[in-house]
């Protein structure tokens, strides 16, 4: 069972004791990401994540890395569109060190000008590396296609130009505004005593005043269209999809089941037909990215230019089948069992437990347990899956992005109607 406490400065703590574990996973979750940026500071969330590792008033960058690694621990971070997370995992006996390092990074980072200029070079190389990975880049291009001009349509890393133009004033102002008590959740899972953990967190994280401000999100307005992007590659990278659901939509569990059946694994319809039966692609899958007020459902495939139209036709045919024929009782049972198994297996890892605590508290204001997810998923019926397919898969909602050799343009809505969508 998890517990929730609030420190004196308003920072929330969600924790779960796992007596059989030998380690502790501790994460600092901040409700700020690329969605909080504008055209002038794009990439600042990710840049700030890097900078908090570059030295504090008490530690150099090398000491931050070495102190935890010296005791067999790990420390890392990541930035998404709506949140940033800094996390550690250490043996239970090194909890004090993990708390001290994370709180030092969060509150005492220098954000030095020389570190900013040096880290720009690193992040610009990261952008180049990303642009050299077309199977990853196409997903950003797809979000940009369907949500042009909106923060959710922008790349988390920023652009070469916006990162180059970032300076300490911009970064420090963003830090002061976004890293505030209302935006911060501390999550912990592993071997500890909750009362002792909260007391330690109060003595470090709880003593700082973090006023800042909470910004309001403007929902994106989708603009379905086809975007053909030319790049000198052997394969055509394809993203085809529609606007999805917000994370708190009542139909989110039906959509989770639909996604798993359509393209969520090796036994999914798309994988079996496009890869196993037709041998048209090595990689093909679907996913749903949910945000606080919107979502994006995407099917991805990488194929040769000669197979491009056939792959799109097969994807549309399977989507049409879900809309018009639904799913079988056997398919739905199998996907429920698969998702349940994945969730329960993940519970054996304290990192996964910590992540679920932090992310759901930050997103929903409450913890959503694996048991609750399984219970809600078990309530999904075949009719529910078909209903969500009919709701989101409309010809006028579809968008397509390709990246690679030039391909034949198409009328996507017309292709969808011919497929029976």
Q: What is the pLDDT of residue 212?
A: 77
Q: What residues are labeled active site?
A: 49
| Rg, Å, the chain Cα set | 23
Query: pLDDT per position in the chain (421 positions), as tens?
Result: 899 999 999 999 999 999 999 999 999 999 999 999 999 999 999 999 999 999 999 999 999 999 999 999 999 999 999 999 999 999 999 999 999 999 999 999 999 999 999 999 999 999 999 999 999 999 999 999 999 999 999 999 999 999 999 999 999 999 999 999 999 999 999 999 999 999 999 999 999 888 877 778 899 999 999 999 999 999 999 999 999 999 999 999 999 999 999 999 999 999 999 999 999 999 999 999 999 999 999 999 999 999 999 999 999 999 999 999 999 999 999 999 999 999 999 999 999 999 999 999 999 999 999 999 999 999 999 999 999 999 999 999 999 999 999 998 899 999 999 999 9
Q: In DSSP terms, which residues pair with 85 in a beta bridge?
A: 29, 78
Q: What is residue 209's predicted lDDT score, i.e. its pLDDT?
A: 85
| Host H or E run for residue 323 | helix 308-324
What string of DSSP letters covers 295-313? EEEEEEEEE-GGGHHHHHH
pLDDT at 294: 97
Q: For residues 371 and 393, what is the distance between their CA atoms, to the nearest angstrom?
A: 30
Which phi and psi (to 5°) does residue 236 adopt?
Answer: -95, 125
Closest to 302 measured CA to CA, from 287, 276, 281: 281
């Amino acid at each position: 069972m998890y517990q929730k406490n609030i420190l004196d400065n308003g920072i929330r703590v969600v924790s779960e004791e796992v007596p059989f574990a030998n380690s502790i996973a501790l994460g600092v979750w901040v409700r700020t990401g690329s969605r909080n940026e504008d055209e002038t500071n794009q990439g600042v969330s990710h840049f700030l994540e890097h900078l908090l590792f570059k030295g504090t008033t008490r530690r150099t960058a090398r000491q931050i890395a070495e102190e935890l690694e010296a005791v067999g621990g790990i420390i890392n971070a990541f930035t998404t569109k709506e949140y940033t997370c800094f996390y550690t995992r250490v043996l239970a006996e090194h909890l004090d060190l993990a708390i001290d390092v994370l709180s030092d990074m969060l509150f005492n980072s220098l954000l030095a000008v020389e570190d900013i200029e040096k880290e720009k070079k690193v992040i610009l190389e990261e952008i180049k590396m990303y642009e050299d990975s077309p199977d990853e880049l196409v997903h950003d291009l797809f979000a940009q296609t369907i949500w042009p001009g909106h923060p959710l349509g922008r790349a988390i890393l920023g652009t070469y130009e916006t990162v180059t133009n970032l300076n300490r004033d911009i970064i420090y102002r963003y830090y002061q505004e976004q890293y505030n008590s209302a935006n911060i959740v501390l999550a912990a899972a592993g071997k500890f005593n909750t009362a002792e953990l909260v007391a330690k967190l109060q003595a470090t994280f709880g003593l700082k005043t973090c006023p800042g401000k909470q910004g309001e999100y403007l929902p994106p307005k989708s603009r379905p269209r086809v975007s053909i992007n030319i790049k000198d590659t052997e394969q055509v990278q394809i993203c085809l999809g529609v606007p999805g659901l917000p994370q708190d939509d009542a139909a989110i569990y039906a959509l989770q089941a639909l996604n798993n059946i359509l393209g969520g694994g090796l036994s999914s319809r798309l994988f079996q037909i496009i890869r196993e039966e037709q041998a048209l692609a090595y990689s093909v899958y679907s996913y749903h990215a949910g945000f606080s007020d919107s979502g994006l459902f995407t099917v991805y495939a990488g194929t040769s230019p000669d197979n491009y139209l056939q792959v799109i036709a097969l994807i549309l045919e399977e989507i049409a089948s879900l809309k018009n024929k639904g799913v079988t009782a056997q398919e739905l049972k199998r996907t429920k069992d698969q998702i349940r198994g994945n969730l329960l297996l993940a519970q054996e890892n304290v990192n996964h437990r910590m992540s679920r605590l932090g992310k759901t508290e930050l997103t929903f204001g409450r913890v959503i347990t694996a048991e609750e997810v399984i219970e809600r998923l078990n309530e999904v019926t075949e009719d529910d899956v078909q209903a969500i397919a009919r709701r989101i898969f409309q010809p006028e909602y579809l968008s397509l992005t390709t990246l690679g050799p030039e391909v034949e343009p198409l009328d996507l809505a017309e292709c969808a109607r011919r497929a029976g969508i």
